[in-house]
Amino acid sequence: MLRETFKTVVLAGMYAASLVTARSDFVDALAPVPGVSFKLTKGHRSSTADKVTNNFQYVHALRGDGTNTKSVASILGAHQRQVGGNGYQNITSTTAYGTQYALDLTFADVPLKLLLDTGSSDTWIVQAGFSCVDFAEEEADEASCGFGPAYPGDFQYGAIPEQHIYIQYGDGEIIYGPVGYSDITLGNITVKRQEAGLANTTYWYGNNVTSGVLGLAYPSLTNAYLGSGTEHGWLDEVSYSPIFTSMINQGLVLPYFSMAINRNSSGGLIAWGGIPPVKGLDYSTAVSMDIIVTNLIDNPYTAWQYSFYTIVPDGWQWDSTTNMQKFPYIVDSGTTLCYLPPDIAEAINSAFEPAAVYLWMYGAFFTSCNARAPILAVVMKGVRLYINPVDLIFHDLVDPLTGLCMTGIASGGTGPYILGDVFLQNALAVFDVGHSQMRFISRQFY
């Protein structure tokens, strides 16, 4: 039994986000995806006006060798293989790449960088003296887990007796350790006595920069459990308020956050309870989309779930061609490319001049590095959100045999599909969890 199906989280009167079956006809109309369920969320607060706020921070892009096992594309690739699907053939290779984004914060006054993750809900930090294990749970050298600086202390306000955190991420990584309370400061916002985890046992593929994860998904996906041993079943769950929920409950921000990713993955801005001061927003393109939560449901008895912010656009337009088939798309800043249904991806790549060709060894499409890209837009409620042609050809990823460059549009196999950085660096993305909406505004001049 999946806890996100049966749990409703009410957040101290500020807002509630429930996974509901209302408008089930709309959800049922979506194309079935093996091992995946879709649920509509229901907001309990009116839509919030998007206002520029001083509560913003810079995020840092981390590319490393190009791998990102925590990107949605990587997780879905592993998931599709588990359920017998196809697609994302080489997504974990260095050529399929995903970008990670790090955020500066202080944990009990200790400065650290954590990995931003909109697909999970827990905040945790690796603790000094942790045990690093390999896939067989054998002891490994600490360096092989690839963390940045480990947190040298303990919880500021003490650990919670007989409770622990255990997370098995969709890509197989695992962290385990105690839970407790500490103040966490993000930018100029300090969340008092935030519950978090200290990882003292980990199986991890780190980037050698970040020291843990800041989870921004729904509260129903926290992973605290009773006991101090191996009790990780749903009967042992202990719900708690993740950090963004705590910001809202403590009256620090309005119930939404927003992200603006810069071109070339140089970083960007994230704002809490408002939008960041970015230039060139074209408000005539502002559009709101209902949030659908996408859940992986391979095994209802496992101790983990992974949930994603998902929308259903009208379709796509490229040059003079329009395809208005509706499919669910996950919005993910940690995935570089856009992953579309195979026939649409192939048609768009054929519209490059010269036409892009599929190179099976990369699992991606390639074209001449000076090709003309099609005029491409994703259509949402009749609004065309255009993708700059310069974002559709990657000049820093060239096949050495053919001299061709990779395009920004890839096949997503059986789905669900992904709107990655190729799209997001052309728009401001607003995650209005209080109203259960995502909003997008084109960025025209930046």
State the number of CA atoms in the 13 A half-sphere of 87 facing the CB.
26
* Count of helix runs (H) and strand runs (E) in the chain: 6, 32
The helix/strand/coil state of 394 is: strand
Residues 6+ apart with CB under 8 A from 328: 30, 33, 38, 292, 294, 310, 311, 312, 415, 416, 417
Q: Please identify every residue annotated as catalytic.
A: 117, 332
Nearest-angstrom CA–CA distance, 214 and 232? 21
- The structure tokens 């005029």 sit at 375
* Strand-pair category, 56-62 with 268-272: antiparallel
Let me know if 148 is exposed, middle or buried by CB neighbors in 10 A (0-12, 13-18, 19+): middle
Q: How far is CA 309 from CA 67, 86, 127, 169, 299, in A?
A: 22, 22, 30, 16, 21
Q: Name the nearest CA neighbour of 169 among 217, 129, 227.
A: 217
Tokens matching residue 45: 């607060």
**Alpha-carbon radius of gyration of the chain:** 21
